[in-house]
Structure 1
Amino acid sequence: MSPKRPTRPKTDTPDTTPVVRDTTPDTPTPPRLMPDTLIDPTLTHPAWQLPEPPVTRREMIEIYDLPAETHVRDITVQRPIGSYFLAPGLVNRLPPPDLLNGIRSAGRHAYVDLVEGGTVLIGPDTQNGMRARLSNELLASGPLLERVEGTLMWRPVLTENAPDAGTSQLFISRHRVPDDEQSTVPSKRPRLEETPWNGWSIDPQHATPGDIRVDGIQYKVIPRGDASDPIVYIKNPNHLIYDFDLLDRTLRLDPQQQPRGAIQVPPAQHWQIDPTLPFERPLTNYVSQYFPELSVTSLENVAFHQFLLANGANTATGSGLTLLRQTFNDWKAGNAHPRPQLADPLLMLPILPTSGSGAIRAIELPTPTPGGPLQRLDFDPALFRQEWLYSTTTQSAVDLKRFMATLLTRNGYAVFDPSPSNSFPALVFKRTGHDYVFFISLHRIRGRKINQTLNVDQHSASLRLHIQVGAAAAAAVIAAHATHKVVWLRGGPQTLANADDTVFIVRDGHARL
C-alpha cells in the first residue's frame, strides 16, 4: 500500500480575531547609506547630495492659460555636469588624450577633460551626439559636449533648451493664504546673466555681527578668522557650517554655489563682491595636479590636513580660504611659499616614534586610512606600473635610488644626482617654493617595521655622508642642518600579504649627522 497523503486543513473556518484597519500614515524609510567601497566611483556619493530647500504649504503655483498660438516645449532637467566627474584616483589612471580628438580611451570607454575642470565618461545619445554618461547607462543622458576647436579640451554645448529671445516665458505667482501678510508678487524665471548669489540674501533681522550689506542686500558671512584679513566671504545661507566635506562637495557638484570673496572699496568703504570663483576645482584635485602619483587615500588626507592647517580647525574661516587660494596660486606660479607647511605634504608629516633601545631601533609603519590622520605619504604603483615591475626584480641599491629619484622628480621634486655607492641607499632632494632640504633613507619593506641602526661615531658621519649621497648633496645637507632646515625621511617599496603594494614615505627624528 502507498502511504496516505496528508490532508490539507480546512480554511473556511472564519477567524474570530477582529481585524482593525491601520490608518496611520506611512512613514518613509530613510535610505540606507552604502559604504564607499560598494559605490561606483564614477557616480555621485550619496553624502555629496546638496539639501533641497523644503517646500511649504504656502508655496502655491498657478499656471495661467496660454494663447492657443503659443509654442510650448518640453524641457528635461538634467543633472549638473559635476555629477559626472570621475574620482581623482581614476583620472590619474587614464591614458593621455588623443592628439586628434582629445578623447582618453580606456578599453571600450571614452573620457574627456573639460575646460572648467573635471573629467567625465562620454557616450553617444539617440542623435549620435556625445554626452556625459554614467557608467550604468546604455545611452548617455548627461549634458551635450563638444570639443573646443584647436585644443584637447571639451565643454558643454548650449542646447536649444537654453532660453532665447523667441522663447515664451511661464509666469508663476504665489497666492496669499488667509494668514499670509505678504502680497502676491508675480515673478518669472531668472535670467542666465543673474549672479548665483542673488538668492543668498537674508532678512536683516536674522543678521549676526560680521554679516555684510551689499547694494542694500544682507548676506551671511563665513567667520573671518584673522581680523586683519581684508577679504570676507559671503555664503549661501542654506550652507550652515563650511567644513572640509561641505566645501569639497560643493566644488564637485555645483562650484557656482561656493562662497564668494568681498572687500571694502574706498573711499566710501562700501562692500563689493568679487565674481571670480575662489576655487576652480575640488580641493583634492589641486593636490593631484601637483602630486600626480599619490594614492587616492593620500590625496584625500593631504587635502584635508591642508584645510585644517589653513583654518586652524575643520571649520572654514575667511582667512583660511584666502590662505588656501594663495597656496594654490603659488603652486601654479612657482612662487615662494610664506607657509611651506601648507604647500608641501612632506612638511605636513609628523615625526614617528621609535621603539627599542641601544643602537638598534624600529619604526612601526602606520596603516594608511581614508579620513584618518596624515602620518605617511603613499604613491600608487598602478600609476607607474612599468617602473614598479622593474623595481621588484632587482635588489640593487643603485636601482632603488634611481627608482625613487625618478618617482620624486615626476612629482615635482628636484633630486641631487644619486651617488654610485651600492650601500646604505639614500637620496637628497628639494622643492621649488621653500628652502628645506629632504634626506631620505631608502628601504625595501616586507611587513610593517623599519629597523634602523643609529650612528655611534659622530666624527665619521660626515665622511660616510659624502659616499652615501655624493659631494654636492652632502654639502647641501650640512648647510641646511646648520639652520635646522633638514627634514629626515625614510621610504621605499612596501609589500604586504593582505594589502596593495605601495611606495611610502614617513618622517623620523633621527639625524644622519
Structure 2
Amino acid sequence: MAKPPKQIPPAGSSPPRPSTDTPHVNLDNVSNIRPGMHLPTGEPTLTGHSSSRTTEHDAGNRQPSVEVSEMLPRQPPHASGIAPEASPRPTSPVFIPAHLALRLTPAAASSQGIRRDGRERTYVDMREGTAMVHQHPDGRFQLTSASELTHSGFLVERIRGTNLWQKRQAITARRPHVDEPDTQADPGKRPRLNEDDASTDPAPLADKPSTIAQPLDLSNKPWRNWGQPTKPTGGQSVEIDGLHYPIVPQIVRSNTSIVCIKHPRFNPERFDAFEQMLVDDRTLQPRWAARGPDNQWRFTDHRLPFEKPLTQYVADAFECLSGPSARAVAKAMFRESRGAEVINGEGLQALSQTFRHWQDRAMPAHRHLADPLLLLPVQPIISDGTFGGRIVLPPTTGPSLQRVDFDPQKFSQQWSEYTAAPGAASLQKLFYNILVKSGYTVSPPDPSLLEHSLVFHREGLDSLFVLKLPLVSPGFIPRYTRPGSELTSSAARMTLDETGQQRLNALLAQDKVNYLVGGIQHPSPDQPTLFILREG
C-alpha cells in the first residue's frame, strides 16, 4: 500500500514554537506637649506602592530575598521583543515597599552603597526610597524592575561621600538611548561611577557652616508610609490611624506624651551611625508622635527633631571650640543623654530640648547636658613626691571626652594680642575673652586671685565654674593648690558682697562648684591649642 505524501510546509513559514513565556521574577517644643492638649487630626495620605501579600521562603540560613513581582505590573509576553528605542521611559523610579527593603543587605556593607536580595539582585537607596538597578558591563547603573527584560529606567549614580543615589542628569540629557555606547563622552570628563574614595573625615561638619538654613519642607509627610497593617512581633510600637509604627525604645507609661517613630531603614542606636545619617540624609531620623486627649497617638509634623548634625549644634553654640572637641562633646552628650552607648527615646528628646535651649532659650535644658564643661570627667592627681602632685595632660583626641580645646584661629585677634605680650595676666585676659565669646558671664579678671583664677557661670544654669591658669609643663600640670582654695582666700572673699557670699556658700554646700584648670599646649610647634580640663 502506497504511503501518503509528506506534508511540506509552505515556503517562508517556520515550525511551531513552544511556549517560551519567561516566568516573571518574583516640633517645635516637644517638652510642652502633654496629655489633654488638642492636636490637629486628619486622615493620613498613603502614597507609594503597597502589596496585599508577600511570598515568604523557608530560607534557612540563606539571606532573605525580596519578591517584587507582586507589586509591579506584568509585561505582556511579547514585551521582550520591543526595541530599546520603543521601551517606555519612566519618569521616576519604581520603589519597593519599605518593609521589603528592610530584608535587603545594608547599604553600609558595600563601598558603593549597593544592596542585594537573596538572589543577588542589586538595589540602591535614593532619597525617595529603594529601587532595583542593573549594572552594565561598562560600569553604568540603570534603574530597572524585576518584571522587565529590557531595562527602561534612567541612569543613576552615587552621591559622592554617601550611600545615596540620584538620577544621572548629565548623561540622560545627552543620550536619548541609554543602551547606546557613550562614544561622544570626553574620557577625561566622565563622571566617576565607582567612587570608593568617599570621605572618611570623622568630623565632616565640625568646622563648617551648617548645611541647612531652614527646616526641611515636611508638607508631603513621608512618615505616613512607615507604618504596617499588622503589629510587629518584636519591639515597641504605637498605633496611628490603623497602622502600627515601631518606635525608638523607651519606657512608655499611661502618662507618656511623646515617643519617637523609627524610619523603616534606620535604627538610631549609636552616635557614629546617627551622626552620619544627619550628614547624609536627615529624612531618615525618627519623628515625634504625641498622645492626644483621646489617648490616641498622632504625628507632630511641625519640624525635624534635628535640623543639622549634633556636632554642628555644638560648634554653633560654642564657636571657639576646635573641630575634634566639638565632635567629642556631641558624642558625650549622645551617651550621657541615655547613660549608655545606645540611645533611647527619652535620650533623643533630651538632646533635642537641650539644643533648642542653646538656640533660643525657649525651654529649659537638662542640667547634665546643658554645658560641655559639666561633661568633663575629673582628672586624677598623681603624686610625684611634691606637695600636691601633678595632672597628666590627656591627649587632644581619644575615645571619650577628657578635655575641651579652643582653636586660636577662631579668635585670631585676641590670640594676636596675647602673643604680642605673653604672660600670666595676658593669659587670664585671653581666657576671659574666650569664655565671654562662648556665652558665659565672667567676673572681671583679678590678678590677685590664686593662679589668676576666673570665676564664671551660665545664665539659667545653677552651677559655678572656677578656672585656674597655672604654669603648664610639657605633658603635665603641676598642682600646688587645692581645689577650692581660690574661693576661700581672703582676696576672693573681699570681692563678694553679702548676697554673693551667701550664694557661694549655698553652691558649695550643694556641691555645685566645678573646679577647672586651663592653659596653652603645643601638640605640634605650629599648632597651639588652649585647653580646659576638670580637677578634683
Assess, with a 3 A threshold, how the Cα gap between structure 1 residues 361 and 79 changes in structure 2: closer, same or farther: same
Partner of 1:115: 213
Map 1:414-493 → 2, pairs under 5 A = 414-421=441-448, 424-454=451-481, 461-466=488-493, 470-471=495-496, 475=501, 477-493=504-520
Alpha-carbon distance in structure 1 between the residues aligned to 2:420 and 2:486 = 37
Matched pairs, number: 364
1:230 aligns with 2:257: yes
Assess, with a 3 A threshold, how the Cα gap between structure 1 residues 78 and 355 changes in structure 2: closer, same or farther: closer
User: Which amino acid is 2:305 matched to?
Assistant: P
User: Which amino acid is 1:281 matched to?
Assistant: K
Alpha-carbon distance in structure 2 between the residues aligned to 1:322 and 1:428 = 32
The counterpart of 2:439, out of the listed 397, 400, 412, is 412
Q: 1:213 offset after TM fit, Å? A: 2.2
TM-score by length of 1: 0.61
Alpha-carbon distance in structure 2 between the residues aligned to 1:32 and 1:63 = 28
The counterpart of 1:60, out of the listed 139, 146, 155, is 146
Residues 296-334 of structure 1 show CA distances to partners (whole Å, capped at 9, x for unaligned) of 111111111111111222222111111112112222233
Deviation beyond 6 Å, 4+ runs, structure 1: 30-33, 48-52, 73-78, 80-86, 456-460
Q: Which consecutive residues of structure 2, in runs of 5 or more, have no partner in the other structure?
A: 1-108, 113-124, 135-143, 165-198
Alpha-carbon distance in structure 1 between the residues aligned to 2:375 and 2:147 = 54
Residues 61-111 of structure 1 show CA distances to partners (whole Å, capped at 9, x for unaligned) of 4599x9xxxxxx98988949999999333326xxxxxxxxxxxxxxxxxxx
User: Which amino acid is 2:214 matched to?
Assistant: E
Residues 328-377 of structure 1 show CA distances to partners (whole Å, capped at 9, x for unaligned) of 2222233674632211011111111001155231011100215x111111
The counterpart of 1:362, out of the listed 384, 387, 390, is 390
Partner of 1:285: 312
Partner of 2:59: none
Alpha-carbon distance in structure 1 between the residues aligned to 2:343 and 2:485 = 47
> SS state of the match for residue 347, structure 2?
helix
State which drifts further: 375-384 or 225-234. Answer: 225-234
User: Which amino acid is 2:476 matched to?
Assistant: K
> SS state of the match for residue 341, structure 1?
helix
> SS state of the match for residue 527, structure 2?
coil
Alpha-carbon distance in structure 2 between the residues aligned to 1:50 and 1:195 = 14
State which drifts further: 280-289 or 195-204. Answer: 195-204
Alpha-carbon distance in structure 1 between the residues aligned to 2:276 and 2:484 = 54
Partner of 1:90: 207
Q: 1:247 offset after TM fit, Å? A: 2.0
Assess, with a 3 A threshold, how the Cα gap between structure 1 residues 302 and 232 changes in structure 2: closer, same or farther: same
Note if contact 2:206-2:327 (Cα within 8 Å) is conserved in structure 1: no
Note if contact 1:397-1:423 (Cα within 8 Å) is conserved in structure 2: no
Alpha-carbon distance in structure 1 between the residues aligned to 2:334 and 2:228 = 28
Assess, with a 3 A threshold, how the Cα gap between structure 1 residues 259 and 458 changes in structure 2: closer, same or farther: closer
Map 1:397-408 → 2, pairs under 5 A = 397-408=424-435
The counterpart of 1:330, out of the listed 357, 361, 364, is 357
Residues 387-424 of structure 1 show CA distances to partners (whole Å, capped at 9, x for unaligned) of 22332343432211111100011011110011143873
Partner of 1:152: none
Partner of 1:178: none
Assess, with a 3 A threshold, how the Cα gap between structure 1 residues 437 and 449 changes in structure 2: closer, same or farther: same
> SS state of the match for residue 89, structure 1?
coil
> SS state of the match for residue 385, structure 1?
helix
Residues 27-82 of structure 1 show CA distances to partners (whole Å, capped at 9, x for unaligned) of xxx8779xxxxxxxxxxxxxx99998584999524599x9xxxxxx9898894999
User: Which amino acid is 1:286 matched to?
Assistant: Y
Note if contact 2:245-2:261 (Cα within 8 Å) is conserved in structure 1: yes
Note if contact 2:325-2:405 (Cα within 8 Å) is conserved in structure 1: yes
Partner of 1:219: 245
Assess, with a 3 A threshold, how the Cα gap between structure 1 residues 351 and 507 changes in structure 2: closer, same or farther: same
State which drifts further: 192-201 or 294-303. Answer: 192-201
> SS state of the match for residue 321, structure 2?
coil
Partner of 2:228: 202
User: Which amino acid is 1:361 matched to?
Assistant: G
Note if contact 1:225-1:317 (Cα within 8 Å) is conserved in structure 2: no
Map 1:502-513 → 2, pairs under 5 A = 502-509=529-536
User: Which amino acid is 2:355 matched to?
Assistant: F
The counterpart of 2:293, out of the listed 266, 270, 281, is 266
User: Which amino acid is 1:91 matched to?
Assistant: K
Assess, with a 3 A threshold, how the Cα gap between structure 1 residues 327 and 423 changes in structure 2: closer, same or farther: closer
Q: Which consecutive residues of structure 1, in runs of 5 or more, have no partner in the other structure?
A: 1-29, 34-47, 67-72, 93-111, 118-154, 157-191
> SS state of the match for residue 88, structure 1?
coil
Partner of 1:101: none
Residues 452-478 of structure 1 show CA distances to partners (whole Å, capped at 9, x for unaligned) of 1135997995214357xx446984645
Q: 1:193 offset after TM fit, Å? A: 5.5
Alpha-carbon distance in structure 1 between the residues aligned to 2:148 and 2:158 = 24
Assess, with a 3 A threshold, how the Cα gap between structure 1 residues 381 and 483 changes in structure 2: closer, same or farther: same
State which drifts further: 442-451 or 287-296. Answer: 442-451
Alpha-carbon distance in structure 2 between the residues aligned to 1:457 and 1:414 = 19
Assess, with a 3 A threshold, how the Cα gap between structure 1 residues 54 and 497 changes in structure 2: closer, same or farther: same
Percent identity, aligned pairs only, is 29
> Over the residues paired in the alignment, what is the CA RMSD in angstroms?
4.2
The counterpart of 1:317, out of the listed 332, 341, 344, is 344
User: Which amino acid is 1:367 matched to?
Assistant: P
